[in-house]
Chain A
Amino acid sequence: QITLKESGPTLVKPTQTLTLTCSFSGFSLTTSGMTVGWIRQPPGKALEWLALIYWNDDKRYSPSLKSRLTITKDISKNQVVLTMTKMDPKDTATYFCAHAKFDILIGPFDYWGQGSLVTVSS
């Protein structure tokens, strides 16, 4: 049974760096085809994909946010960490991590965390 859970600050100040952790179980990021992604959703708005990390440590980022994002994994802890620099009030959103399988292409995000609401305000 695959589970994921996000953790991190609920409030950050403008210009600060956000660090979010996704702790997961039920699979290993050393297994071929496993990936973990981050997706966010501002209140009342659409989902927005942010970043993806593959089992082989390949990394992909949203073109519009690439300069501000870093995704890493800690195999020993079964965790994926997302950092986002230069936080702005427009970055206020619920941040989700989710699992997807890669075959020929990335499959759907089939397991999701509960989400972590991050508010950016001074």
Chain B
Amino acid sequence: SYVLTQPPSVSVAPGKTAKISCGGNDIGYKSVHWYQQKPGQAPVVVVYDDDDRPSGIPERFSGSNSGNTATLTISRVEAGDEADYFCQVWDSDSEVVIGGGTKLSVL
């Protein structure tokens, strides 16, 4: 089955840039979606299809995907960005696959 690997945690100072990775075999050939989840809430899509943003999501959120790694980049990080972030792909064998999640801490 297809596996997505994320770092358990990432820490960043306010105003700096956070990068959250999502590793998978040839993930560059797949469409990657990213979700933000705050405590007690349902996940929200912040990036879809590698690098598109839903309406209402700040331009500070961006995505890239190549080779074996997809990356969510959050520029000019704010305290309100502190949350868990999950990557997700569709795989022909495993269907919907979700990464283990990364806790973003804003120092």
Contact = CB atoms under 8 A, between A and B. Distances in A.
Interface string B63-101: 000000000000000000000001010100111111111
A63 B94 contact: yes
A114 B37 CA distance: 12
Interface of B is mostly: strand
A109 B100 contact: no
B45 A108 contact: yes
Interface residues of A, number: 24
A62 B31 CA distance: 19
Contacts of B95: 49, 52, 60-63
Nearest to B94: A63
Interface of A is mostly: strand
B20 to A, nearest CB: 14
B93 to A, nearest CB: 8
A46 B86 contact: yes
Contacts of A106: 90, 96
Contacts of A62: 95-96
A47 interface: yes
Contacts of B98: 39, 46-49
B45 A46 contact: no
Contact of B42 (A37, A49, A96): A96
Contacts of B15: none
Interface string A12-38: 000000000000000000000000010
Interface of B: 1, 31, 33, 35, 37, 42-45, 48-49, 54, 86, 88, 90, 93-101
Given A49-B88, A49-B95, 10 more contacts: A37-B96, A46-B101, A60-B96, A105-B90, A108-B33, A110-B48, A110-B54, A112-B42, A112-B44, A114-B42
Closest A-B pairs by Cβ, 3 of them: A112-B42, A108-B33, A49-B96
Interface of A: 37, 39, 46-49, 52, 60-64, 96, 98, 105-110, 112-115
